[in-house]
Chains A and B, each alone.
Chain A
Amino acid sequence: DGGITQSPKYLFRKEGQNVTLSCEQNLNHDAMYWYRQDPGQGLRLIYYSQIVNDFQKGDIAEGYSVSREKKESFPLTVTSAQKNPTAFYLCASATGTGPPGQLNQPQHFGDGTRLSIL
């Protein structure tokens, strides 16, 4: 079955370390997204990518980096510059821009990664 796989489910980071969260999709979707969710809050967009080798910053990109070398993969690196990284991270994908009939396709979400600081 097609879907989005995020790994690991739980991740711990020491102070000053960079960590990378994995997101893989086999839905042949062009667009991929990373969101952060804090307790009692909604989703905030970190980065998104509409096509391979291209990505744009979202609302809270500082302290994060991404790459999109393959259509299927959109890893997120939480760098040491992110001072408050403890959160739940959700990856999503959607069909890209194209004929209007495709634009209403909803995002498919992974199961998320919970990142905590040791």
Chain B
Amino acid sequence: AQTVTQSQPEMSVQEAETVTLSCTYDTSESDYYLFWYKQPPSRQMILVIRQEAYKQQNATENRFSVNFQKAAKSFSLKISDSQLGDAAMYFCAYRSYNNNDMRFGAGTRLTVKP
């Protein structure tokens, strides 16, 4: 079964600075999808960014971008110009191409300091 590992339980960043959250995964599949979700104190899960494994180009959504290294099975999230509203738990997730099985990492709690 696929596993997703987030090795940083907690991270902090100064407002307006840049922070990178790490994610690695283990799979024998060649086609799959990767996601980063944000969970603020309200506990809602909010999609931040997604990446298709067959695409070499790294996904970007405004201040959020990923560094997808398929050979290394690494999928890090970079948040630029951090804002106070970015403070939340961030979860990395893996989804198989051929079914709907989705796996989540343990999460990284991001604190943004004013």
A contact set with B: CB distance below 8 Å: 31, 33, 35, 40-45, 48, 50, 59, 88, 90, 92, 94, 96-97, 100, 103-104, 106-107, 109, 111-112
Query: CB distance B100 to A88 under 8 Å?
Result: no
Mostly, the B contact residues are loop
Query: CB distance A31 to B104 under 8 Å?
Result: no
Interface residue count for B (Cβ, 8 Å)?
A: 26
Of all chain A residues, the one with the shortest Cβ separation from B44 is: A111
Contact A94 to B100, CB < 8 A, known contacts A42-B107, A104-B33: yes
B28 on the A face (CB < 8 A): no
Query: CB distance A97 to B98 under 8 Å?
Result: yes
Contact with A along B37-50 (1 / 0, CB 8 A): 00000111101001
Least Cβ–Cβ distance between A108 and chain B, in angstroms = 8
Query: CB distance B102 to A107 under 8 Å?
Result: yes
30 pairs, A vs B, C-beta closer than 8 Å: A31-B100, A40-B9, A41-B106, A41-B107, A42-B6, A42-B91, A42-B104, A42-B105, A42-B106, A43-B91, A45-B101, A45-B103, A48-B101, A50-B99, A59-B1, A88-B43, A90-B45, A94-B100, A94-B102, A96-B100, A97-B98, A103-B95, A104-B33, A104-B50, A104-B52, A106-B47, A111-B42, A111-B43, A111-B44, A112-B43
